[in-house]
Structure 1
Amino acid sequence: MGRLLRGELRKLVTTRLWLWLLLGAVTLTALYASLNIAFTDDPENFAPHLSTPEGQRLHVATAAQPATTFAAVLAAIGITGEFRHRTATTTFLATPRRVKVVVAKLILYAAVGAAYAAACLGTTVALGIPLLASMDIDFDILGPGMPATFAGIVAAGLAFGVLGVALGALLREQVATVVGLLIYRFIAEPIVTEVPALHDWTLYLPGPATSALVGSVLENREFLDAWQGGAMLAGYACVLALAGTLLTTRRDVI
């Protein structure tokens, strides 16, 4: 497994895609955090104020969530690229037990997802401290619930890394997988979760489950408990990873 992991890591770093996606995640995180802080006093804002621990977790720390989507996209490209560029045959000839190949990708991109999340968290902290200080507010990174939020975001990054590999293994088509991920995360899910009549079941979708895991609080929205959100996200990752692994071992490569 160590040899496979090193091989997958070499494949990842031979292009700069991982770097561009990381820069995209960090940039979007910085934008979200800045806008959240700038518009926190909006009278129509249902979120806690920045002077509270809940407000700091929601407006600043959880702005790092774009890392999850970018990690999933990178992971999906990492496995679908094998089929798009016809390198899957060589890969599976070198390692006939396909399960090991998929597991190596799952482990690698889970770690990459966690690293993306950590980088984006560093961005929110680096921005949050001076911006809140300019508003005479102390940003307490060890305040109530903050360490749990940080841990939850890293765990979500890990889970979405697994989800990206799993979806790529299931669909195989790179463009369809990546476009589908982006449409779902940035368009479909946000629209569906804003429909009040659907709130009873949209709680269990990956996005709201992630929000629950990281401790988001909104006056007009209910979320699962943090452990329930984590369990839902882990369930999605495990079920899809298992399905993707099984299909990869049973389907023809080409």
Structure 2
Amino acid sequence: MNLVRSELLKIRTTSTWWWLAIAAFLSIALAFAFNAWVANETLNGNAEELGVTGDQASAAAQAANLYTSGQYLGLMFVMLIGILMVTNEFFHQTATTTFLATPRRTSVILSKLVAASLLGIGFWLVTTLIDLAAGAVFLSANGHGTLLGEWAVQRALLLNLLAYAIWTVLGIGIGTLITNQLGAVITAAVLYLVGTQVVGLLFMLLSNLLNSEAVVKWQVIWPAIASTVMVSEGQTDFTPAWWVGALVLIGYAVVSGVAGVLITRRRDIS
């Protein structure tokens, strides 16, 4: 726990997380405005015009979407925090001191994983409280109530918590793989923002080539898409069930955590 507290202190005493928190708040505001418009159109009978079909057109599905607004960019921000927790050690040349003070490198990485997860949970808590307040007002004003008693909504909130915790772990894994801070941040951001769009396009092209819509569902193997799927209600021609996204993301977390420990134990620190 002393190691965990020290990792939290390193983040808390820098301004980086403040900038990321501000960016996350702005992304929530934009995402909520868009999701509120989609929910309003969907619940007023214009779902087909927006391409919203099946269970995703239900009030519970739209509520779940509102209450998890800002997840897409929010997950990228907590991933960057995880990356910085590792790369800061090399950027500021404190890695040697850290490992001399705590020779068991596994303990150091595990403490970073725990601290990162706690930060991810903290981000989830703050963003969710904002979404809950705004979403409850919006839904109640439109005569639907808060819908917080619906299991689909509760499940989306809980899985969103899991997503925030996992993406900080993924950030730690990326940081151990690419120790150059600028390189790690740019690579991760590009893969997250651009890579997600490229993967979606490739699977759409592959679907057209094979004349099978089922192929599109396999894009869930990309972690950013898996995160979106796991908080969505209902299965469509383009997305699998929510539990598939959850399993994919958990798998990435396990592999990332193990890889981070193994790489750090064998790396020459000088």
Q: TM-score, normalised by structure 2?
A: 0.85
Amino acid of the structure 2 residue aligned with 1:223: P
Greater helix fraction, Structure 1 or Structure 2? 2
Q: When the two structures are aligned, how many residues end up with a matched partner?
A: 251
- Displacement after TM superposition at 1:47 (Å): 2.8
1:164 is the counterpart of 2:171: yes
SS at 2:50's partner residue? coil
Amino acid of the structure 1 residue aligned with 2:268: D
SS at 1:172's partner residue? coil
Q: 2:119 aligns with which of 99, 112, 118?
A: 112
Cα distance per residue 1:170-207 (max 9 Å; x no partner):
11111121112211222221332244226243122112
Alignment match, 2:211: none
Amino acid of the structure 2 residue aligned with 1:209: A
Amino acid of the structure 1 residue aligned with 2:127: C
Given that residues 156 and 230 in structure 2 are in contact (C-alpha distance below 8 angstroms), is that contact kept between their aligned partners in structure 1? yes
Given that residues 210 and 229 in structure 1 are in contact (C-alpha distance below 8 angstroms), is that contact kept between their aligned partners in structure 2? yes
Cα distance per residue 1:125-176 (max 9 Å; x no partner):
1221223344343231222311111100001100001110111011111112
Distance 1:200 1:141, change over 3 A: closer
Mark the runs of 5 or more structure 1 residues left unpaired by the alignment. Answer: none
Alignment match, 2:69: 63
Given that residues 110 and 158 in structure 1 are in contact (C-alpha distance below 8 angstroms), is that contact kept between their aligned partners in structure 2? yes
Cα distance per residue 1:102-127 (max 9 Å; x no partner):
11000000111122112111111122
Mark the runs of 5 or more structure 2 residues left unpaired by the alignment. Answer: 208-214
Q: For 2:118 and 2:220, locate their aligned partners in 1 and report how far apart those are by CA, in whole Å.
A: 27
Q: For 1:124 and 1:210, locate their aligned partners in 2 and report how far apart those are by CA, in whole Å.
A: 17
Pairs within 5 Å for 1:1-254: 2-40=1-39, 41=41, 44-47=49-52, 52-58=59-65, 60-65=66-71, 66-194=73-201, 195-196=203-204, 197=207, 199-217=216-234, 219-226=236-243, 228-254=244-270
Alignment match, 2:210: none
Cα distance per residue 1:203-249 (max 9 Å; x no partner):
221122212322344745222342x3222111111112211211111
Q: Highest CA radius of gyration, 1 or 2?
A: 2
Task: Name whichever of 8-17 and 74-83 sits farther off.
Answer: 8-17
Q: For 1:45 and 1:150, locate their aligned partners in 2 and report how far apart those are by CA, in whole Å.
A: 24
| Percent identity between the two aligned chains | 27
Task: Name whichever of 186-195 and 46-55 sits farther off.
Answer: 46-55
Distance 1:163 1:28, change over 3 A: same
SS at 1:63's partner residue? coil
Q: TM-score, normalised by structure 1?
A: 0.90
Q: For 1:207 and 1:216, locate their aligned partners in 2 and report how far apart those are by CA, in whole Å.
A: 17
Cα distance per residue 1:46-83 (max 9 Å; x no partner):
2367761112212x023141322111101101110101
Given that residues 47 and 217 in structure 1 are in contact (C-alpha distance below 8 angstroms), is that contact kept between their aligned partners in structure 2? no
Alignment match, 2:212: none
